[in-house]
Each structure stands twice: as structure tokens, then as C-alpha cells.
Structure 1
Amino acid sequence: MKPTSYSTLTALRRAVRRLARAHRLPADVRGRLMLSVTDLATAELRAGPIALSASRAKEPDDTGFLVVTLQAPQSTTHLATHDLPLPAPTTSGHTVTWHIPVPEAGPPRPQDPLHPRPENSAGRLQAESHDSDGELRATLALADSLAGEHRLLKHELAETNAGVLALYVQLEEQDERLRQAHGQVLRELEDALRPPPPRIAGLEVAVHYAPADPGAPTGGDLYDWFALPDGTLHITVVDAVGHGVGSTRSALNVAHAVRTLALEGHPLQSIAARTHDILMPLDPKLMATVLLARIDPATGELQLANGSHPPALLVRSDGSAQYLEVPGRGIGFPFPGSDSVLSARLHAGDLLLLYTDGLTESRKDAYEGEIRLVRAAQNHAHLPLAGIPAAIAADMHQIVLHADDTLALALRLTRTTGPRT
């Protein structure tokens, strides 16, 4: 069909509607074509007439389609074809072409839709009204279909989200159970490494330990105590650098080496240096502080050796307190060993506190922590010994700026019998 020119939008829309009706285009396709032609022609008709042509064609597979071409020869710009309701695959300057599949239910009506026979106004209005109703019904049907699909998708999405949330909660619960089980196993292993307080006449001993991370209760703070052949009590407090299982292994190696050397009868002052010599070839990266104590429960005689560890705190029965300082360097440090051995005497009712730096450095100020520790120990010295280490730790950790493994070990003489004979 030859191109036909139109000077008004109304005439052009009527031609498009007749063309769609003649080729039996579905109502929704007809509506999209109408809107696309209207969008393109509304601005271009100001420049001059719009030409419209149409023809039938077939694909190689005998699929029929309608070729509709719109031309705006007097347009000063290229036709804007983006976002058209019916996409136009072919554009060239002032020409837009649609390739529209057509139904196979018979050939088009014989009348040329672009050059129709005259018809009265009533018939034309009736036909246009019928076409408009069809396009509107198709639009409403499509909208209803999309709304139904949207509701279905929302329902399916809600079910999916609920399922994902339930799965997430289930996985979180399983993960929490695994963490608790893991922590319980580690606590049992840790407890197995920490000997229970010894039962020694005239001497009370109690201990408190808290890991930096309750979910991973292993750490490098460890203690050991045992009676020597002469009846004195040996106590080892170790703080290996690091956290977790690796630091526990390091602390355990130090404690075992110290126990072996002590039972072999080595002097207290030499044990830290000898422990360094034994362990460094096996673990060159090991670093640990160590505090060694010997207490004669019969006489109250106390000996202390130190390797870079916080000093022991002695609180007398009258409430006075002093730190028992001993210079020295720890395992893995340069020039390891205790420079000397400090000797003191405990009396009945005196409290001796051995601890690791996690007790005094929770606020990142060791000096301030030592002052608070004296006050806390004095405040709780009157309690039964079993509850003193935990009570002191609770006071010291009311504010924690630096979490670390914490060990507090308390001893108190209940009586003395005088020097050994």
C-alpha cells in the first residue's frame, strides 16, 4: 500500500485503527500501536504531514507479519523511538517501521484501510468506540493479570522469606549449640590441666580463673602446685604470651619443666633460667612470664623467684599490704631467670595473692590496677578464702577496657608451729 499523508492526529489515529482492524490485530497490540504512533506524531505534525503505509509479508518459515511504516519527512530531528509501547526494530532518520505478527485466520479485508470508502459519522463513531472498548478491555485484562501475578509473587516471596528466616534461625541455633558444646569440651580440657587445691594442714588455698573469651576458654594463664619431699608447697604461676590452645600448650610446657626441675631439687633461683634452656630449642617463639613460690606451712617461711611476672601481694592480718618485688626476666626473654630469691614469713591470718596481669591491667594502666588491687584485697581479706579470688576479680573487672585471661590464686596460713627442727 502506498504511503498516505495525514495532517491531523485524529485522522492518523483513525487510519491506524482501521489498519489494525483490517488485519485483525489483537486489541492489546492495536492499543500499543495506537499509542506508539500517537507518541511519535504528536510533536512532528507541527512540522508537516505524517505519512503512513502498510504491507503484508512472510518470514521464511511462512509466519505472516504486517509491516507498518511511519514517515515524518519534514521533521528537523530524528524520531525518538525509545520507550515506545510497541518497540520499533527498524528506524532510519525520519522513518520508523514496525514488524507485527498477524493472525492466520484468513486474509485481510479487501478494502484498503488507508483509503476507506466513505462512511457516515454514526458508523465511524460506533466502530471507533468498539475498537476503543476492545483496547481498554485488553489493557484491563493485562493489568488484572499482572496484578494477580504480582500478588502471587508477593505471596511466594513472603513464603520464601519465611522459609529463609526459619532456616537462618535453625542454623543460628545449631551454631549456638555447637559453640556451647565446643566451649564445654574446652572447659573440661582446661579444668583437667588445672590441679585442684591441695589439702595441707595449716594452709588454705583457693583459685579463680576466667578466660578473655568465654566462648574459647583456653588461654595462657596456668598454675601448678605440689608438695616437695621436705613438706613445703611449691606453686608455679605462668602467663604465656597469646591466647587460645597455642598459649595453653606453651604454659603447660613451662609448668611441666618447672615441676621436673623442682622435684629434682634444683635451687629455686635457677629454675626459670633452666626452664628457658630446656624449652627454647623445642619452641624458639615461646615467651612466658613465671612466678615461683615456696611455702613451708609449718613455719610460714616464704620464698619467691620471679621472671618478668607481676609481683605477689601480701596482706597482713592487721590490714597492711605490700608487693613482694623480685627482679628477673621470663622464659624466652633476654637473660632469663630470677636475679634473686625473696624471703619472707607469713603469720596466721596473713593473705598471699599470686595473679596474672589480666587482673590488674583490665583498664590498661598497670600502676592504677595495682593500687585498686591492694584496696580490693584489703576489702575481701576477711571472707572465707574460697571466695576471695573471685570477689577480688569481680571488683577489678567492674570496668574492662582490655580483656585478657585472668588468674588469681590466694593462700592463707591458719596456724604456724615455729621453725622446723
Structure 2
Amino acid sequence: MVRRRPPASASSDELLNTLGRLTAQALERVESQKARVELAAALQRDLLPSALPQAAGLRTAARYAPARHGLDIGGDWYDGFVLPGGVLGFSVGDVQGHDVEAAAFMGQVRIALRALATVTPDPGEVLGRANDLLVTMDGDLFATCSFLRYDPASGELAMARAGHVPAVWATSDGASGVDAEPGGLPLGIQGGEPYPVSHRRLTGSGAFVVVTDGVVEGPSFSIDEGLDHIGTLIRAGASGEPAELAADLIHVAELTGHRDDAAVLVLRHDR
């Protein structure tokens, strides 16, 4: 019988060298991820507006919260701007994916919506044109979005949704509801998509709120439960300060168990 010599086991020095190499590679990956997260966070801070427009009978507020675990950042946004004739435009959205690429894509979508809103008064057409533009870019990302147009002269709010969470409203007399009018597909998936427009007149005292899914949906409760939860808060704060209501609503994101970031836009009307 031929005896085979067992293979030589690795020496302590070899094991230490291997461990050191693997540790260095792991640290390099961690530092790279940390740098990407920091860059995404910086992009997010710079791209979100420093202030929102106000109008007679309308006060606005918004909040953004990064992901609870610090890695999923860069996808959600809110925006507000003045259009010709004193009309106000607002958008709230959520880019699929996170990190630097999502933050950059978010900036592209916001700029496209602002530009298109100056050439057409129809929110559905704004989303439709933005969608067709993003489809031609042939990218890998898409975004859900709600675009709103508010006319201070008439008090009319027109809104179109692209695969986004329904808005929730309440008035100071106790009425409330979910604005679940049909919407279209998320932006950037399929060209030629129609985006129906819902109309609502903001009369009396109340609040109209748009959020991203990080606020109302996660492992801890379903989107319907989340919408009910924020509905309760909106009814309680419909006649209060919009900044306080926005702060209360963004805290709901901590209850979802979701890893996503979150955004809230509050339109507080008193006409």
C-alpha cells in the first residue's frame, strides 16, 4: 500500500497574511460604500428645495427623512415652484433604487417636471411628456410621482399620478378621504402612457397631503393601514400649522419597518 503524505497545512504566517488581505478588502468595500452614501446624501441635500412657495390662503411645508438604516438614500423628493401667472407647481416622487444613481436621476426628473410645467397647464400632459423623455433616455431607473398644479385665484388643485401613493385630505369640520383617482404607470417604463387628472377645489380650512410609500408602507403595516394612520393625523392637524403636521407625518415612517427613505408634502389651505 502506498502512503500519501498529507498536504501541508497553512502556517500561522500564511493564515495571518490571508486574514489581513481579506480584512483590507472588506475595509475598502466599506469605505467605498460609505463614500457613495455620503455623496448620495450630499446630492439629496443640494437637490431638495430650501423653501416652498406660499400663496394667499395656502401655506405649505415638507419633510424628508433618510432611510432608517442609513444605506437607502437618494430616491425620494418633494418640490415646489411658481409658474407663470402666479400658479404654483408641486411634485412628490420616489425613484426606484437608491444611492448616487437614484439621487442623480431624481434631479433629472425634477428638472424635467419644472421645465415642462412652464409650457403646459395640464398635470397629466406634464407627466406624459416627462415619461416619454425618460423612456428615450433608455435608462434602468424609473420613478413614481404625483404632480400638482394649484391656482390661488380659483382655489383649484389639479393632480396627476404616475404609479404613486394616493393623496390624503381632511378639513377642519371632520371630513376626510383618500384621493384615489386612477393614475398611470411610473415614469420611464413605457412611452405614450396617459395620466388622468383629478380636480379638487381647496375651500374652507383643511390640509391636502402627498407622501411617498416610505411613510405609509412596510413590513409593519400595509399601505391601506398606513394611509388610515396618516389620515388620523391629518384630521387632527387639518387646522394647525403645516410644519407641525409635516413633522408628525414623517415620524410615521419610523413605524413601518421599511428601509426606504420618505418624503411628505403638506398643503394647508384656509380660504
Give the TM-score band, short-chain normalised: 0.7 to 0.9
Superposed CA RMSD in Å reads 2.6
Aligned to 1:326: 181
Whether 2:249 is the aligned partner of 1:392: answer: yes
* Residue deviations 1:104-129 (CA, integer Å, cap 9, x gap): xxxxxxxxxxxxxxxxxxxxxxxxxx
Shift of 1:186: 5.2
Aligned to 2:145: 290
1:194 to 48, 52, 60: 48
* Residue deviations 1:295-349 (CA, integer Å, cap 9, x gap): 1123211101111111111111212111112322121334664442111111132
Shift of 1:216: 4.7
Aligned to 1:262: 117
Whether 2:119 is the aligned partner of 1:280: answer: no
Secondary structure in 2 aligned to 1:319? coil
Equivalent-residue separation in structure 1 for 2:194 and 2:226 (angstroms): 24
Equivalent-residue separation in structure 2 for 1:322 and 1:336 (angstroms): 30
Shift of 1:401: 2.2
Structure 1 residue ranges, 4+ long, deviating more than 6 angstroms after superposition: 181-185
* Residue deviations 1:205-234 (CA, integer Å, cap 9, x gap): 100111114645742111221111121111
Residue identity matched to 1:342: S
* Residue deviations 1:45-103 (CA, integer Å, cap 9, x gap): xxxxxxxxxxxxxxxxxxxxxxxxxxxxxxxxxxxxxxxxxxxxxxxxxxxxxxxxxxx
* Residue deviations 1:366-392 (CA, integer Å, cap 9, x gap): 122122121122233343111111112
Equivalent-residue separation in structure 2 for 1:224 and 1:369 (angstroms): 23
Aligned to 1:138: none
Equivalent-residue separation in structure 2 for 1:194 and 1:228 (angstroms): 18
Residue identity matched to 1:191: R
Is the contact made by 2:162 and 2:185 (CA closer than 8 Å) also made in structure 1? yes
Whether 2:230 is the aligned partner of 1:378: answer: no
Is the contact made by 1:297 and 1:413 (CA closer than 8 Å) also made in structure 2? no
Residue identity matched to 1:351: A
Residue identity matched to 2:222: D
TM-score by length of 1: 0.52
Whether 2:112 is the aligned partner of 1:242: answer: no
TM-score by length of 2: 0.78
Residue identity matched to 1:376: L
**Residue 254 and residue 182 in structure 1: after superposition, are their counterparts in 2 closer, same or farther (change >3 A)?**
closer
Aligned to 2:162: 307
Secondary structure in 2 aligned to 1:291? strand
* Residue deviations 1:143-188 (CA, integer Å, cap 9, x gap): xxxxxxxxxxxxxxxxxxxxxxxxxxxxx9xx99xx6x98777545
Residue identity matched to 2:168: L
Aligned to 1:346: 202
Equivalent-residue separation in structure 1 for 2:63 and 2:192 (angstroms): 28
Is the contact made by 1:326 and 1:339 (CA closer than 8 Å) also made in structure 2? no
Residue identity matched to 1:194: L
Q: What are the within-5 Å matches in structure 2 for residues 92-171 of structure 1?
A: none
Is the contact made by 2:77 and 2:106 (CA closer than 8 Å) also made in structure 1? yes
Where in structure 2 are there 5+ consecutive unaligned residues? Answer: 1-26
Residue identity matched to 1:249: A
**Residue 185 and residue 244 in structure 1: after superposition, are their counterparts in 2 closer, same or farther (change >3 A)?**
closer
Higher RCO structure (Cα 8 Å, ≥6 apart): 2
Residue identity matched to 1:267: D
Equivalent-residue separation in structure 1 for 2:154 and 2:175 (angstroms): 21
**Residue 329 and residue 206 in structure 1: after superposition, are their counterparts in 2 closer, same or farther (change >3 A)?**
same
Equivalent-residue separation in structure 2 for 1:216 and 1:297 (angstroms): 40
Where in structure 1 are there 5+ consecutive unaligned residues? Answer: 1-171, 416-421
Equivalent-residue separation in structure 2 for 1:226 and 1:261 (angstroms): 12
Aligned to 1:37: none
**Residue 244 and residue 186 in structure 1: after superposition, are their counterparts in 2 closer, same or farther (change >3 A)?**
closer
Aligned residues: 239
Is the contact made by 1:262 and 1:271 (CA closer than 8 Å) also made in structure 2? yes
